[in-house]
Structure formats: C-alpha cells, structure tokens
Structure 1
Amino acid sequence: MIDIEQEFLKDLDNQLWRAADKLRSNLDAANYKHVVLGLIFLKYVSDAFEERQQELTELFQKDDDDNIYYLPRDDYDSDEAYQQAIADELEIVDYYTEKNVFWVPKTARWNDLRNVITLPAGSVIWQNEKGEEVKLRSVSWLIDNAFDDIEKDNPKLKGILNRISQYQLDADKLIELVNEFSRTSFSNPEYNGEKLNLKSKDILGHVYEYFLGQFALAEGKQGGQYYTPKSIVTLIVEMLEPYKGRVYDPAMGSGGFFVSSDKFIEKHANVKHYNASEQKKQISVYGQESNPTTWKLAAMNMVIRGIDFNFGKKNADSFLDDQHPDLRADFVMTNPPFNMKDWWNEKLADDARWTVNHNGEKRVLTPPTGNANFAWMLHMLYHLAPTGSMALLLANGSMSSNTNNEGDIRRALVELDLVECMVALPGQLFTNTQIPACIWFLTKDKSVKNGKRDRQGQVLFIDARNMGYMKDRVLRDFTDEDIQQIANIFHNWQQEWSEENNQAGFSFSADLATIQKHDFVLTPGRYVGTEAEEDDGESFEVKMTRLTQELEVQFAKSAKLEQMIRENLKGLGR
C-alpha cells in the first residue's frame, strides 16, 4: 500500500506542477509561486475545514451517551428546524479550533469559489456580513476577496497572503488552474481502483512541500535559500527529539523544521503512548527570516498545519534586528546560508551574543567579519536554554578551518564541552549549492538527565558521507532507513556506550584529549577510521603472492592480444 501511495503522490505532483507551470509564460518563478502557493493554501485549508464539517455533521446526529456534540432531533419542531440547527452549529469557530483545524470563512471556501469563477463579471454571488450584495468583478478579485476575509478572521496572517490581482493574470489561465486543482479528490482518494489511507492534510501538505522544492530548483540559488532537503530536516528532528518546549529557528526559511517537529510528534505518538494533539500544545514555535517573501511562506506553512507560531513582528535580519531577544529555547535548529560574507556591522562589535558562559567559565568569541558560520552558531547558543540542545547545518570548512579566528572559536567550543555530536553528510544534497555540508549538534547539558548518561568530556563523530542514494542525476537523498540508522547510533550513544560500540568507518566516541591531539579539527573522518574489511582467512603474504601471479598472467594475455591485433592491422594495410 505504501508503494501505491507513493505512486499516487508522484502522479499528483506531476499533474499539478504541469498545470502550475503554464503560468511561467506569463510570470517568472519568483512571482508565479505566490499565485500557485496561494491557491494551494486556499485548497488545503478548505479541504481540512470540510473534513471537520463532515465529521461534525455526523457527530451532531449520533445518539451516544459519550457524544458531547449530539443534538437530539426531538428538541426541534421540524426536520427543517433541525437541519438549520445543525447548519448553525457548523458555523461555530470553536468546533474547528479545538481540533487545530483552520477556520475558513464562507467567502473563502474552495467549492463555493469554484462554483462562481465562470459567472460573468457583475453577477451577484452572495451577501456579505452586513447583508449587502457582493458582485463578482473578476476571478482575481474573487480570490483576493477570500484572502481579505481570511486575514480578518486570522490576525496572524495579516499582510501575509499575496493578492493575485497585482499580477494581472489572464482570467482563463487562472480558471484553468483552479479547475485543475479541483479535479483531484483529496478526501478518500483512490488510485488504480484501490482506496488510499491518506487524508487531505497529508496529500496537500506533501504537494505544498513538493512545490517549494520545485520553486527552489526553478529559481536557482535564491530559491534554495528557503528550502532545506526534507530528509536532512527529518534527520535533525529525529536526533533532537523535540517533544515539548520552545523550538527556535533563526533562519527558518519556509518553516521546514517546525513542520517536521509537528510530524515527529504525530509519528511517535503511538510508540510513546501519548496524545499527539495534547503533546503539540506543549510546543511553542519561534522563528525569524529576513526575506519578506519567505517569511510570508513560513506563516502560510504554519497556518496550513494548525501550528501556533511567533515569527516576530516583521521579516528581519537575525543579527541586526533580533525579533526574540529574550528567548531561551529548549531546541534550536537551522540551516543558515553557507559562508555568508556580507553580514557584519560595526554595531555588532561588542554584542552580548559573542560572550559564552558555561560551567562557570566565560569566553569572548567574536566571529570573523567575513564569514557568518560561527556567528550563527554563537547566536543560537545565546538563545539556548541551560538544558537545551541545538543543531545547525554548516559547510564542511567549519570543522577544520583556521581562517581568521575560526579555529580558536572551534577550540573554545570543545574546551567548554558544548559540542555533542558531529555528522559529516554526503555531497549533492542541496538544490542550490554543491558545497559539502555537516551537522553540528551542541548542548549545554551533558549530565545524567531524562534517561541520558553522563557524556561530559565526550563527542560522538558520525561519518555519513557514503550513505544515501541518487534520486536523480544531480541530487542525493537519504532513505528512511539511513535516517533511522544515524539517529539510533546517536541515541544509543546518549544512553549507553562503550568502546565496543564504535563502528569503524562510521562512528566513534572521542574524549577531549583525543580531539586535542587532532588540533581540535572536528572532521568525523579523522576519528572513525576506515571500515574494517571482511577476514576471508587468507594471510596478507599469501594473498599478495596470489594476486601478483594473477596479474602477471593477465599482463601476458594482454601482450599476446596486442600482438594479434597488430598482425591483423598489418594484413588490412596490404
């Protein structure tokens, strides 16, 4: 069934992308993504809303002592009155928000919008809240009006949803796109005659993420700045395990880490025997993003999934305009731009974020002005709670570079015992750069706590450069098994470990003295060694003699073949 679901999603991706891609003749990628993602947003929230409506309709009529929603038919004079009562109940906002379902006002519900898009301009389509007749001016206006009403009911989205009218799209193109998005059954879908166990939230969430990835490819480098490979985000979340507390991403892009944290809770709910909905209420999401477009996409991404969030009052630079100055998060994770050069400002010269206090020791670690890698790390450490953990993706150079004072900062982080784990990643993971990357895991508390052993003075190194598979000609990706293998070795190391657990060529637990011998270079390959070859019972001397003899035989055959070819060529020359 899983394979069928994947095939269904792949076909759906291709179908919808082909429809959306038709807009490229009218708009460039940077603009048509707003139109497409805006429509996906409307479809997504409408479908989730409709699913809850159907569920409520059944609950209102279900006579069950444990059903608090039941509306007894006998309480009403007629069927008409009873149906009206149900209709009125269906418009109560609390019924939706209690299940983390986004409230969609009547004027923004997808099926209603679709039913009127082919009406001639000037047609009366409904009455507004004041009882005034609303006339259709254009298809773009209809969608923009839906966005207006959504923002009125959801203040956190104010100014977030881009209006379509500004792009002056041809009405036929827009109608075609709406119809294409409408053709797919997102509720109780079937594929090749088989019913799939996928809800509209699962399907549309997948489509949304797929489109973000496609836009990243279409826009090149700039597009990639807000899209981190899903498997890498999943890996980090699986390793950090953010069950509860404050989660912060200072370079959040479209909010992929927050979405993955939400999915992580749902995935592990059954295993850990807790209620996913209740557990999600124990998570607080904080983020920041400098790009105004991406900041809006992140907000849409959160609303789509019913995740409460605080992304600051505006899009802003995390270094120069920190939107969460007093935040101390339990989990901090991010994929900042690699090797960012133009970030420094003299206002940052004596910033408090460059002073690290840990275990009674204080170090001033001002990052180099020409590279923001360690500035991101120090910014994150500053916002990390005393018992918190963090992870960030950086270019491989961060593990070994001594340019400016990078080597000194890295040494200080190790000596302060803040580094917990280093993961070397394979190449070709990112759409926007071929720079090899790694993941730094830092923590302010390696003591015995929450089922974890005392890891003070130890760092785990994992070399995952040979893992993954090529998903196409240019991009590599991790399988679910790869992610689980890496996460498991990390969790095992946190809980119980001995030298026998080290795996040659893959993982190694090093003490600070060993790291010092390597001049505080943190490249995993230096520590894990090479994978041990299987012992076939043949000694080296015997094997070397045998292989040398075999090679001499092959050389002799090669010389004989070469002579035969020369003789044949001479014959052709006559």
Structure 2
Amino acid sequence: MTVTQQEIENRLWDAADELRVALPEAQYASVVFPLMFWKYLSDTWDHQHEEFLADNEGLNGLSAEEAHEIEYRDYQSFEIPFIRPGTVQQRRASWSSILATIAQPGLGQRVRASLLAIETANPDKFSRLFGSMTWTSEEVLPGEVLAAVMQAMDRTPKMHEGNMSHDVLGGAYEYLLKRFSDGSGTRAGQFFTPREVVELIVEIVDPKGFESVYDPTCGSGGMLIASANLLKSHGGRGYTLKLYGQEAVLDTAGVARMNLFMHNLTQFQIEVGDTLKDPRFKKPDGSVAQFDVILANPPYSLKWKPWASDPRALGGIAPQSTADWAFVQHMIASMDPKKGRAGVVLPHGVLFRAGQEAAIRQRVLDQDLLEAVIGLPENLFYSTSIPTCVLVFRAPGTKVAERRDGVLFIDASKRFTKAKNRNIMTDADIADVVSSYHSTFNADGSPVHPDGSGGLVARFVSLNEIRSKGNDYDLSVSRYIKQAATEAEDLGTLIDAYNLARAERQITEERMRKVLSAAGIEGFDE
C-alpha cells in the first residue's frame, strides 16, 4: 500500500504523545528516535528475510550456517542477532519479537538488551547508535508507558523500502525533529537548526559531488543531510558526498546517525566528543583533518577552558567567557588549502567585541580569509531570540579575484515572516540572499544590479576601509551599509510624519474657518 507523509507523521506523533504522562516534551526525542529507528531496522530486516526465504524455498538442504552466509551476503545489509542465545529466553532482537512480550515485566530491560545486541553485532555501522538509553530504566520511564509508546508506534505502517521511500522516512524524521523543537524551548538548539538557516548556509558553500563535508558541532546532522539534498536537487548525486560530524552529546550524536540512515545516506562518520578540546578527525601527524566544505551552528557564547597553546589559535586565544572565535579558528584550520570554504552562524558579538576577539578578527581579516558577513533577522532560532549572522570563509588565496582584499556585507535583517513561535525566512528570502552573495559589484562596492527592496542591502567593502581609523576592524553590518539602511528608515519616518502633520493641519484649518465665519469674516482661501 502507498503510505502518505501525513499518515506516518500523525502515527509517529501519536506514539510520542504517549510520553506526556511521564516525560517533558524536551526529552521525547531520546525515546522516540531510538524506537523509531529500531522499528525501521526490524521492518527492513524482516522484509529482506521474507525475500530470502521466498527465493530459497526449502533452502535445498542447506545447513543453518550456509543459509546464514547466503542471506547476509545477498540480502541483508546489517544483522539483527539473537539475545540470550542458547537459553530458553532466546529471541531475536527485533521489534516484533520484543513487542510480543510487551505484557511481561522487565520490558525496558529487554528493549535495552536488544538495542545493545544490534550495536554489538554491527560495530562498523551502529556502534553507540542508540545513545545512553537511560529511558529504558523503569525509574525513568515506567514499563506501562513504554508499552503504550511501542503499541502506538506499531500502528505505523511498515518502515521498509518496499512500503515507503526514504524521502518519506527522512521527512517523517525531520517532522519529529521540528515538532520536538517547537515544544522544547531552549534545549531545542542543541540538536536542531531552523531549516532556512541550514539551507542558506548550504546554498552558499555549495557542496559538489564527491567532496567532503564536515560539521564540527553537528547536532542532529541537519546540515550534512541538507548538503546531500542540495546536491541532489541540482542534478548531482548526494550519496557521493563524504559526510563527517562531531557532536559533544552522546544521545544527540545517535540522533544524527539515525537521521542520516533514515535519509539513505550511509557514507558518513559521526564522532562523539568536545571539538575544541578533543577534535576526533585528525591527520597522521596529529593536526586536524581538512575538508572541502565546513558548516556549523556552534553553541553561542559558550564558556570554555581556553587552549594553553594550539596550532588552531590563529591570531590569539578566544576568552574563557565565549568560545565563538575558537570554533571559527577550528573551522579555518579544517579548511582544505586548495578549495576549502566554511559557513558558520554566530551572534553579532563576534563582529565587534574587543580584547582577544578583536586580535583574532584582525588576523583573519589581514590574511583575507573572511569572504562575507550576512546579517540575519532576530528570533529565528528556537533557543534564542537574538539576531545572528552568517560568516563565510575561504582558504588562504582561494577567493575569486573580485572578492579579494575585501568583505561582502549583506543586510537580511528585515527579511522574515512572523510565525507562531519564531520568525521564519521564506524560500524567496533565502533565494534573494544567495543571489546577492553571487552578485558582482562596482568600484564603490555597490551591486551592479542593485535590488534593495524588502530590507535587503548589499555592499562590498575593501579591507582598507575596514582597517581605517574609526572602523578599526569592526565588522558590524550597520557600520558599512548604514547609509542605505538609514535612508530607507528616514524615508518611512518622513512619510509618517508628513501624513500626521497634514491631518493635524486640516483639523486646525477647519477650526479656523469656523471661527472666522462666526466673526463675519468671509473669503478665506483654503
């Protein structure tokens, strides 16, 4: 049967909603995603197993070992083993097998044993996939609630390729991510970046086929998936990208791995650890690995333990109070020297804060590594209402000629639509920003084909102007396109003031005519 996107989303949310009696919505993801992925694996394994049996009816006298070898060579891409093999409690670590025991005590223990068995049997693919699994404890999630969630999720149609496409599966996963983020307040930022911000950054860094893409703070893996989706939408093959991510939170790293699998992306590596303290992707000489494309939405103004010394510390070491520039330094060090480019979203403070951050900013600019600064609207994110900006970097000497010795500034702060919980940027807003990014500019820095409508203004600013006295390496967007923004604002103010003054004048003149008429004075000319 054909499964609609709406149907699977509704069923999955019904399952998640069973958790309301036991957990806050911010914790739904840690339960629902492992269960959903377990069901997906089990449904897929069962489907392939049925095909194997149909194609090898009777198995023609094969031994169990021979049948196993053929099945896993020609039909299965992963193994779902038995738990407690050789005992009376032996059963396959599959969804349907454990669901059959749902009324028995110790459900959480059996679920945990099954997920661990799958991880152990598939170390190259599923190592630490399901996270900490603390929710399998009866003290965290009562067995009757876990049973209700599983029963509700079991009403979801079979999640295998013969029944639904990976586009539907991936879309359902993204739907849940967004739904959980809408309801989970500040915690949402740790695993979900709004779609429009992801798409904007990915459009600008523009991954090509067979390139490497790296997200040092990957959360749920949305930027990596968006890179593959963009390449596919442009007629390329998204699965050719080599995807890499590092995430500090074990459970969130598991969410990312499951997300990638659900989108049929298997050429990836997600590592767990603190990227600043312990970068997991390295060259044989111990230096950080380098990639073609780097994109990130790191935690803003994170307090951290600064490096004592580190090769990544270009221009100095970021202050303990905020690691924003440390993440940028890591990304710069991780850019491939021939064609590396990076896009990162950060708070506006990185553009103008003094002290150690100013020293780093100066070195980055003097080496001509910063290509663009894009000011975004406020209240775009689930975790903060502050306005943010996208910084775009290029490896040393790789800027195109017309972008050298300068920085492109784009003010997109007014390009948004108000929604229920936050502001959003539409597809048209994103397209206009990307178009401005790809524009050519006159000698004075203005676009050759200007289009400042709707609060979008762009200007290419020379490094000499940024260095000049009074600017002193400050990168505030309003400093360099202030005139255009002020003119637009003043025009609106003048129109409002004119209309108000005109109305007040008309009222005053009407009163004056009445007074003059009462005094017998005629012929007053309006």
Q: 8 Å contact 2:169–2:262 — kept in the other structure?
A: no
Distance, in Å, in 1 between the alignment partners of 2:499 and 2:199 is 48
Matching residue within 430, 442, 461 for 2:409: 461
Note the C-alpha offset of 1:171: 4.1
Matching residue within 259, 270, 281 for 1:301: 259
Match of 2:299?
337
Match of 2:393?
442
Letter in 2 for 1:25: V
Q: 8 Å contact 2:193–2:222 — kept in the other structure?
A: yes
Match of 1:160?
129
2:215 pairs with 1:258: no
Match of 1:220?
185
Letter in 2 for 1:426: P
Note the C-alpha offset of 1:443: 0.5
2:418 pairs with 1:470: yes
Note the C-alpha offset of 1:175: 3.2
Match of 2:36?
40
Q: 8 Å contact 2:380–2:422 — kept in the other structure?
A: yes
Distance 1:530 1:111, change over 3 A: farther
Q: 8 Å contact 1:461–1:509 — kept in the other structure?
A: yes
Range with bigger deviation, 17-26 or 497-506: 497-506
Distance 1:11 1:499, change over 3 A: same
Matching residue within 333, 337, 341 for 1:382: 333
Match of 2:520?
none
Match of 2:21?
25
Distance 1:176 1:548, change over 3 A: closer
Match of 1:124?
none
Q: Matched residue pairs, number?
A: 474
Match of 2:351?
399
Distance, in Å, in 2 between the alignment partners of 1:15 and 1:38 is 16
Q: 8 Å contact 2:304–2:320 — kept in the other structure?
A: yes
Distance 1:471 1:31, change over 3 A: closer
Distance, in Å, in 2 between the alignment partners of 1:209 and 1:32 is 14
Letter in 2 for 1:311: I
Note the C-alpha offset of 1:557: 6.3
2:249 pairs with 1:291: yes
Aligned residues: percent identity? Answer: 27
Distance, in Å, in 2 between the alignment partners of 1:383 and 1:559 is 75
Letter in 1 for 2:311: A
Note the C-alpha offset of 1:155: 0.5
Q: Deviations over 1:299-352 (max 9, x none)?
A: 33333333333334xx32222222224301111111111112x2024xx13221
Distance, in Å, in 2 between the alignment partners of 1:422 and 1:508 is 10
Letter in 2 for 1:392: V
1:482-561 equivalence runs, <5 A? 482-493=429-440, 499-504=447-452, 505-517=456-468, 518-528=471-481, 529-530=483-484, 549=502, 551-555=504-508
Matching residue within 341, 350, 365 for 2:309: 350
Match of 1:320?
277
Distance, in Å, in 1 between the alignment partners of 2:325 and 2:436 is 26
Q: Deviations over 1:431-484 (max 9, x none)?
A: 111121101000015647xxx665212322221111132231x31122223222
Q: 8 Å contact 1:447–1:455 — kept in the other structure?
A: no
Q: 8 Å contact 2:319–2:356 — kept in the other structure?
A: yes
Q: 8 Å contact 2:11–2:155 — kept in the other structure?
A: no
Distance, in Å, in 2 between the alignment partners of 1:435 and 1:218 is 19
Range with bigger deviation, 231-240 or 453-462: 453-462
Distance 1:532 1:432, change over 3 A: closer
Secondary structure in structure 1 of the residue aligned to 2:340? strand
Note the C-alpha offset of 1:51: 7.3
1:48-447 equivalence runs, <5 A? 91-93=71-73, 95=75, 97=77, 107-110=92-95, 114=99, 116-117=100-101, 121=104, 138-156=106-124, 157-161=126-130, 162-163=132-133, 165-167=136-138, 169-185=141-157, 199-243=164-208, 244-268=210-234, 271=235, 274=236, 276=237, 280-281=239-240, 283-305=241-263, 306-312=265-271, 315-326=272-283, 327-340=289-302, 342-345=303-306, 348-355=307-314, 364-386=315-337, 387-402=339-354, 404-445=355-396, 447=398
Distance 1:108 1:375, change over 3 A: same
Distance, in Å, in 2 between the alignment partners of 1:18 and 1:560 is 71
Distance, in Å, in 1 between the alignment partners of 2:495 and 2:168 is 60
Q: 8 Å contact 1:42–1:108 — kept in the other structure?
A: no
Distance, in Å, in 2 between the alignment partners of 1:549 and 1:407 is 49
Q: TM-score, normalised by structure 2?
A: 0.76
Distance, in Å, in 1 between the alignment partners of 2:319 and 2:27 is 36
RMSD value, Cα:
4.1
Note the C-alpha offset of 1:388: 0.3
Q: 8 Å contact 2:370–2:392 — kept in the other structure?
A: yes
Distance, in Å, in 2 between the alignment partners of 1:203 and 1:550 is 58
Instruction: Return 5+ residue gaps in structure 1 as ranges.
Output: 62-70, 122-136, 190-197, 356-363, 535-540, 562-574
Q: 8 Å contact 2:28–2:180 — kept in the other structure?
A: no
Q: 8 Å contact 1:447–1:454 — kept in the other structure?
A: no
1:2-13 equivalence runs, <5 A? 9=5, 13=9
Letter in 1 for 2:414: N
Distance, in Å, in 2 between the alignment partners of 1:52 and 1:445 is 50
Note the C-alpha offset of 1:391: 1.0
Q: 8 Å contact 2:47–2:160 — kept in the other structure?
A: no
Distance, in Å, in 2 between the alignment partners of 1:547 and 1:320 is 59
Q: 8 Å contact 2:220–2:253 — kept in the other structure?
A: yes
Letter in 1 for 2:214: Y
Distance, in Å, in 2 between the alignment partners of 1:372 and 1:560 is 69
Letter in 1 for 2:121: D
Q: 8 Å contact 2:244–2:268 — kept in the other structure?
A: yes
